[in-house]
């Protein structure tokens, strides 16, 4: 039983003094002081052997800890933490991948970091498990977006990020000087030549991906992707979680590379981007991949980028219309809007089961519906 919460040393000394009196009843003293007889005789023996100093509490730390992490390993853990900013699970995997033996459990590494003052309680509380969704195979879907632009010593940098949804492999991390369609077009061409074509690309609703309200209109970039057989997809407005993997990638990029660092110009940014992207794809263990690296789950697309766009083919019996400079098509002497991104392209009007309602398709992509009984705004 424990001693009462008072001055513990005083209580123990008092107990010893009374217990040593002639005729003292140890069991009765134990009852009065609310301790067990085992505790009483322990303190009597310590007092006999060591005097008053023997009544002080002793550390419960074992004299021998054969499984204790060696100082060299603890130093390596702290060193890798400083280099990467990663937590226990990632560091454990990294140490094993680098050929170290006797790597501590991830929880032990977390304890090492905590003892070294490398973990903040508020930051640790943010890392809670959440449900993840992903495509079944590489290149079924890529996520693409611009991370918030920032100033360099000479100009601004607009990081363009392209991420494979299945493997989290970063197929593109480009330091752009603007966020225009020609800039993105040029970078995507280089990415497609290296990695092949995905089945679909998910973007948000802003430029240069799309625009127009209340119905989203195809941009020139989206029209080009459709010609390549890449299906453009868009997240719901004001719902950035739709592109959660790319958003999480942005946070990692900011934490591990951008935060607290300055760059000379976008070219300097690209040099750092390339080195960090290699580490992200090839070295950094990923929680959602059972601590594998993205490169271990990615494969090149078998859909080769065509240097010449394939021709657009429609059934000769269908209603085919060329999109005018205003972004409209004409049907029965009335004009219907389909979007300026399609100017100069040919679309097909296909009747639905509802009278007067047509689906407008560009290649195999459904652009929108029009009601031929009334002119759309």
Task: Give pLDDT tens digits for 5-52.
Answer: 446 777 788 888 888 888 788 888 888 778 888 888 888 888 888 887
What's the DSSP call for residue 173?
Answer: E
Task: Kindly state the average pLDDT of the residues 101-105.
Answer: 76
Please indicate, yes or no, if residue 287 is contained in any of the structural domains: yes
The verdict on 222 and 266 lying in the same domain is yes
Question: Who's near 3: CB < 8 A, 6+ residues apart?
Answer: 11, 12, 33, 34, 35, 39
The verdict on 274 and 364 lying in the same domain is no
The verdict on 88 and 113 lying in the same domain is yes
Does 202 have pLDDT greater than 70?
Answer: yes
DSSP-derived secondary structure for 19-81: HTSTT--HHHHHHHHT--HHHHHHHHHHHHHHGGGGGS----S-S--TTSPPHHHHHHHHHHH
Please indicate, yes or no, if residue 351 is contained in any of the structural domains: yes
Q: Which residue has the higher pLDDT, 356 or 91?
A: 356
The verdict on 246 and 363 lying in the same domain is no
Rounded to whole angstroms, the Cα distance separating 184 from 142 reads: 14
Does 165 have pLDDT greater than 90?
Answer: yes
Query: What's the pLDDT score for residue 63?
Result: 59
Query: What's the pLDDT score for residue 131?
Result: 44
Q: Which long-range contacts (CB under 8 A, 24 or more apart) does 286-293 make?
A: 286/168, 287/89, 287/90, 288/132, 288/134, 288/168, 289/167, 289/168, 291/89, 291/90, 291/92, 291/93
Q: What range does the domain containing 351 cover?
A: 319-371
Query: What's the pLDDT score for residue 269?
Result: 96
Query: What's the pLDDT score for residue 16?
Result: 82
Task: Kindly state the average pLDDT of the residues 280-295.
Answer: 87
Q: Shortest CA distance to 47 belongs to which of 8, 16, 75? A: 16
Count: domains in the chain: 4
Query: What's the pLDDT score for residue 39?
Result: 87
Q: Considering the chain, what percentage of its residues have pLDDT values greater than 70?
A: 85
> Residue 77 in contact with residue 109, Cβ under 8 Å?
yes
The verdict on 195 and 251 lying in the same domain is yes
Rounded to whole angstroms, the Cα distance separating 321 from 319 reads: 7
Please indicate, yes or no, if residue 341 is contained in any of the structural domains: yes
Please indicate, yes or no, if residue 135 is contained in any of the structural domains: no
Question: 82: which 2 tokens?
Answer: 């400083």
Q: How many residues are there in the chain? A: 377
Of 263, 296, 329, which closes a domain?
A: 296
- Exposed, middle or buried by CB within 10 Å (0-12, 13-18, 19+), for 150? middle
Q: Which of 34-43, 90-99, 157-166, 210-219 has the lowest mean pLDDT?
A: 210-219
Does 284 have pLDDT greater than 60?
Answer: yes
Q: Which of 46-60, 246-260, 321-335, 344-358 has the lowest mean pLDDT?
A: 46-60
The verdict on 225 and 278 lying in the same domain is yes
Does 242 have pLDDT greater than 70?
Answer: no
Query: What's the pLDDT score for residue 220?
Result: 92
Does 68 have pLDDT greater than 70?
Answer: no
Question: 162: which 2 tokens?
Answer: 């392209």
Please indicate, yes or no, if residue 66 is contained in any of the structural domains: no
The verdict on 343 and 205 lying in the same domain is no
The verdict on 214 and 346 lying in the same domain is no
Does 54 have pLDDT greater than 90?
Answer: no
Task: Kindly state the average pLDDT of the residues 302-307.
Answer: 94
Q: Shortest CA distance to 138 belongs to which of 356, 16, 299, 8? A: 299
Rounded to whole angstroms, the Cα distance separating 228 from 188 reads: 12
Q: How sure is the predictor about 239, in pLDDT bands with cuts at 50, 70 and 90?
A: very low
Query: What's the pLDDT score for residue 190?
Result: 96
Does 238 have pLDDT greater than 50?
Answer: no
Rounded to whole angstroms, the Cα distance separating 213 from 221 reads: 18
């Amino acid at each position: 039983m424990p001693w009462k919460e008072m001055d513990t040393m005083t209580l123990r000394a008092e107990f010893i003094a009374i217990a040593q009196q002639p005729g003292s009843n140890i069991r009765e003293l134990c009852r009065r002081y609310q301790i067990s007889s085992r505790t009483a005789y322990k303190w009597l023996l310590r007092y006999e052997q060591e005097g008053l100093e023997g009544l002080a509490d002793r550390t419960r730390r074992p004299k021998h800890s054969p499984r204790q992490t060696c100082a060299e390993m603890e130093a390596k853990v702290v060193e890798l933490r400083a280099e990467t900013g990663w937590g226990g699970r990632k560091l454990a995997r990294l140490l094993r991948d680098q050929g170290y033996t006797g790597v501590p459990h991830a929880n032990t590494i977390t304890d090492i970091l905590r003892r070294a003052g490398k973990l903040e309680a508020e930051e640790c509380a943010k890392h809670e498990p959440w449900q993840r969704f992903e495509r079944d195979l590489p290149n079924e879907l890529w996520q693409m977006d611009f991370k918030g632009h920032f100033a360099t010593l000479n100009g601004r940098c607009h990081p363009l990020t392209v991420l494979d949804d299945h493997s989290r492999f970063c197929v593109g991390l480009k330091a752009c000087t603007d966020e225009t369609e020609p800039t993105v077009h040029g970078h995507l061409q280089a990415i497609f030549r290296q990695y092949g074509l995905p089945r679909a690309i998910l973007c948000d609703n802003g430029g240069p991906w799309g625009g127009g309200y209340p119905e989203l209109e195809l941009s020139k970039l989206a029209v080009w992707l459709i010609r390549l057989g890449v299906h453009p997809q868009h997240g719901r407005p004001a719902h950035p979680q739709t592109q959660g993997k790319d958003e999480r990638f942005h946070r990692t990029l900011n934490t591990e590379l951008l935060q607290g660092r300055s760059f000379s110009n976008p070219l300097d940014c690209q040099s750092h981007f390339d080195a960090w992207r290699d580490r992200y794809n090839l070295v950094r263990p990923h929680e959602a991949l059972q601590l594998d690296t993205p490169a271990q789950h990615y494969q090149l697309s078998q859909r080769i980028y065509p240097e010449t766009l394939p021709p657009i083919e429609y059934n000769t019996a269908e209603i085919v219309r060329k999109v005018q400079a205003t972004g409209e098509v004409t049907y029965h002497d009335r004009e219907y809007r389909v979007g300026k991104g399609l100017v100069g392209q040919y679309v097909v009007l296909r009747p639905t089961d509802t009278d007067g309602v047509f689906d407008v398709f560009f290649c195999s992509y459904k652009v929108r519906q029009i009601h031929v009984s009334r002119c759309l705004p």
